[in-house]
Amino acid sequence: MQRFKVELLPEAWAELDRIADIHLNLVGPNSAQKITDNILNSLKYLEDNPYMGAESKYPFLAEQGFRILVCGNYLCFYKVGADVVEVYHIADGRRDYPKLFF
């Protein structure tokens, strides 16, 4: 069975940092660590199961090959390549996340 490399692109890392900062400021360091660990651990599943995330319900994202992995309240937008899963964005699913792509 092929194993994929999961790679967060710079924008996804920046978004993960912002998510951690929000949790740090609102709840504290344990919350910030827990949320980032949960997201990163969820993304690790893509190493063996890159198609486990759903296709986007938005046609403009689905046509570009984006898949979505749900991590609690957060959505990870990614594309599957030949041997790599590239994570483009990590967004709060309770917000207007499609605007990230414009």
pLDDT per residue as tens, the chain (102 positions)? 799 999 999 999 999 999 999 999 999 999 999 999 999 999 999 999 999 999 988 898 899 999 999 999 999 999 999 999 999 999 998 877 777 666
| 3-class SS string, 23-55 | HHHHCCHHHHHHHHHHHHHHHHHHHCCCCCCEE
What is the SS3 assignment for 31?
helix
What is the SS3 assignment for 80?
strand
Spatial CA neighbour of 36 closest among 51, 14, 9: 14
CA angle 91, 70, 43 (to 5 degrees): 90
Question: Hey, which CATH number is domain 5-101, 3.40.50.2300, 3.30.2310.20, 2.40.37.10, 1.20.1440.230?
Answer: 3.30.2310.20
